[in-house]
């Protein structure tokens, strides 16, 4: 067993991977995979809280794996797998559900938000989603979990469940801590900089996707919302649109915000938006090309996710056996 600390994270294949997925998560995963024992998952089981087209879900799952690799994740350095291929997640979720209070789940803000958007399908999976997320994390005895603002509440619940279980049965689970990366932009919608760039946002031009062509990327940035005036200056309160574009440009080029302000002083918004679009298009070009190439070799991708699932099942199976023993289940 490795002496490295363990990190777990995953993204749903409920839509195409976006610019925010790369800058806010996957780019950091690449750096972490060299320092930690990493499990990076395509969480297809979470995706079905909203009805999915089976063929589309299957396609996006494979494409997401290809894009993970194209972004720089090395299958030899980390476990890349599909959530449903490790049944221990679902098994552990049932156990943890018996140690999660109904009131705790009622307080989850994401349930309130998602159920208001899916009034025709407010299913129990949407309600118990955080328990499965807790199982995802605790199955690997994860020390650290990269989280954005929208997942902090779920991680707090995961910690509460682990501590409750440990209080009854001893030190069964590692209580995970949030991992806040040193770099990691929170990318907002290009149409509404008060909202996070989202796969579920159907507004044209609001999001940029990893597989977008350079032409589509440039169109999106040229139409991006800016603010009054013409000064390129970082000010989230007064200039949320420009500040979002500056965050994106910084993530794409590595330039800090003050250097960006100096570079575009007196240039105006039109010039700046074109520059951001060009930087993003160049950043995504090798990812798009590599992912498209990988999708031509489905056997290679199958080998990767099967290998990842074996490694994931070995680790999560060890945790599940320990949990079952504590509960008093008869060993099979």
From 27, 199, 239, 273, active-site residue: 199
244 and 104 part of one domain: no
Q: Considering the domain boundaries, does residue 67 fall inside one?
A: yes
pTM over 0.85: yes
Could you confirm whether 199 is annotated as catalytic? Answer: yes
Number of domains forming the structure of the chain:
2
307 and 219 part of one domain: no
Residue 2 in this model has a pLDDT that exceeds 70: no
241 and 92 part of one domain: no
140 and 234 part of one domain: no
CATH label of the domain that carries residue 151 = 3.40.50.620
19 and 95 part of one domain: yes
82 and 142 part of one domain: yes
Q: Considering the domain boundaries, does residue 272 fall inside one?
A: yes
Measured CA to CA in angstroms, residue 131 lies from 116, 154, 174 at distances of 20, 9, 16
75 and 137 part of one domain: yes
Q: How confident is the model at residue 200 (pLDDT cuts 50, 70, 90)?
A: low
148 and 266 part of one domain: no
Cβ atoms of residues 136 and 157 within 8 Å: no
18 and 159 part of one domain: yes
Could you confirm whether 239 is annotated as catalytic? Answer: no
Contacts 24+ apart (CB under 8 A), 156-160: 157/100, 157/104, 157/108, 157/130, 158/130, 158/133, 158/134, 160/104
State the residue range of the domain holding 24.
6-185+297-327
pLDDT averaged over every residue in the chain? 92
Predicted pLDDT of residue 126: 87
DSSP 195: S
- Reported as type and span, the H/E element at residue 10 is strand 6-11
272 and 126 part of one domain: no
285 and 301 part of one domain: no
CATH label of the domain that carries residue 259 = 1.10.240.10
Residue 117 in this model has a pLDDT that exceeds 80: no
From 4, 5, 112, 114, active-site residue: 114
163 and 239 part of one domain: no
Residue 332 in this model has a pLDDT that exceeds 90: no
Residues 94-103 as b/e (b if ≥16 CB within 10 A, e otherwise) read ebbbebbeee
Q: Considering the domain boundaries, does residue 192 fall inside one?
A: no
From 196, 239, 326, 332, active-site residue: 196
Q: Considering the domain boundaries, does residue 131 fall inside one?
A: yes
């Amino acid at each position: 067993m490795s002496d490295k600390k363990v990190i777990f994270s995953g993204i749903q294949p409920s839509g195409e991977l976006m610019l925010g997925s790369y800058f806010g998560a996957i780019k950091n995963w690449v750096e972490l995979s060299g320092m930690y024992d990493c499990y990076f998952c395509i969480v297809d089981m979470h995706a079905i809280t909203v009805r999915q087209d089976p063929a589309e879900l299957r396609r996006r799952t494979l494409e997401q794996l290809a894009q993970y690799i194209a972004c720089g994740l090395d299958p030899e350095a980390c476990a890349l797998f599909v959530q449903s291929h490790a049944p221990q997640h679902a098994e552990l979720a049932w156990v943890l559900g018996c140690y999660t209070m109904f009131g705790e789940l009622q307080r989850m803000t994401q349930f309130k938000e998602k159920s208001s958007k899916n009034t025709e399908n407010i299913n129990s999976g949407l309600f118990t989603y955080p328990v499965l997320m807790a199982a995802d994390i605790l199955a690997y005895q994860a020390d650290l979990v990269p989280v954005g603002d929208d997942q902090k509440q779920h991680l707090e619940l995961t910690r509460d469940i682990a501590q409750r279980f440990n209080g009854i049965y001893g030190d069964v689970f590692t209580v995970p801590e949030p991992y806040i990366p040193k770099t990691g932009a929170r990318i907002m919608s290009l149409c509404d900089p008060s909202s996070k760039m989202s796969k579920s946002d159907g507004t044209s031009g609001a999001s940029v996707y990893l597989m977008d062509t350079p032409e589509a990327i440039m169109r999106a940035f040229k139409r991006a919302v800016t603010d009054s005036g013409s000064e390129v200056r970082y000010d989230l309160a007064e200039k949320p649109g420009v500040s979002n574009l500056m965050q994106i440009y910084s993530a794409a080029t590595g330039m800090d915000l003050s250097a960006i302000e100096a570079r575009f002083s007196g240039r105006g918004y039109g010039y700046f938006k074109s520059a951001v679009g060009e930087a993003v298009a160049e950043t995504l070009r090798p990812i798009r090309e590599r992912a498209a190439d990988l999708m031509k070799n489905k056997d290679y991708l199958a080998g990767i996710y099967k290998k990842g699932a074996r490694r994931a099942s070995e680790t999560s199976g060890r945790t599940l056996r320990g949990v079952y023993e504590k509960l008093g289940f008869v060993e099979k």
